[in-house]
Amino acid sequence: MIKIGKYVNTHGIKGEIRILSDFSRKDLLFIKGFKIYIKNKEFIINSYRKHKQYDMVTLVGINNINDIIELKGSDVYIKREDIDSFIDEDLYSYSAIINEKKYKIENILESKAHKILILDNGVMIPYVDEFIEKKDDIKKIVYLKLPDNLM
């Protein structure tokens, strides 16, 4: 599962929810029919719109605030396999070797400047050329060399 954001509040009384997400490929997931997971419950997106910094979503079968409010504050996930075929560079399946230590890549954020790798220890690493030693597509490993003060 990939965390894509947090269900921060409801909007109105008909069950629309506000998701705060910095996931880089929202265009792949916030579409009608796509499945999201909140507290291990599967929901299907019925509609999507952007409002300020929020991703506003209605869900199939949720027509009342009372049907969804108990999940408020929960993280929102998707299944990795649901987007694997859409990702151009599938770094999610890679490990990162940084200064000879191995980490799992948990998430990838896309800033205006570059991608940011979020590792399983919570550290965020800019995915920029000066840090990349090599990328092994067969072993699914990205080798990074970072200054000691970044880890």
The domains of the chain are located at 2-82, 91-150
**The overall pTM is greater than 0.85:** no
Measure the CA–CA gap between 63 and 73, rounded to whole angstroms.
19
- The position carrying tokens 């999507």 is 48
Q: Is it true that 2-82 and 91-150 share their CATH fold?
A: no
Spell out the residues 6+ positions from residue 150 whose beta carbon is closer than 8 angstroms to its own: 123, 125
Mapped onto helix, strand or coil, the DSSP state of residue 24 is coil
Measure the CA–CA gap between 47 and 33, rounded to whole angstroms.
9
The domain 2-82 having CATH identifier 3.40.640.10: the answer here is no
State the average pLDDT for the chain: 85
Spell out the residues 6+ positions from residue 116 whose beta carbon is closer than 8 angstroms to its own: 108, 109, 110, 124, 125, 126, 127
Spell out the residues 6+ positions from residue 33 whose beta carbon is closer than 8 angstroms to its own: 44, 45
Asked if 44 and 33 touch (Cβ cutoff 8 Å), the reply is yes
The domain 91-150 having CATH identifier 2.30.30: the answer here is yes
Token pair of 83, please? 């987007």
Average pLDDT over residues 57-65: 94
Of 9-18, 25-34, 67-76, 88-97, the least confident: 88-97
Measure the CA–CA gap between 146 and 38, rounded to whole angstroms.
35
pLDDT at 150: 67
- The position carrying tokens 């069950």 is 15
Q: What is the pLDDT of residues 103-130, one digit of tens each?
A: 888 888 777 777 888 888 888 888 888 8
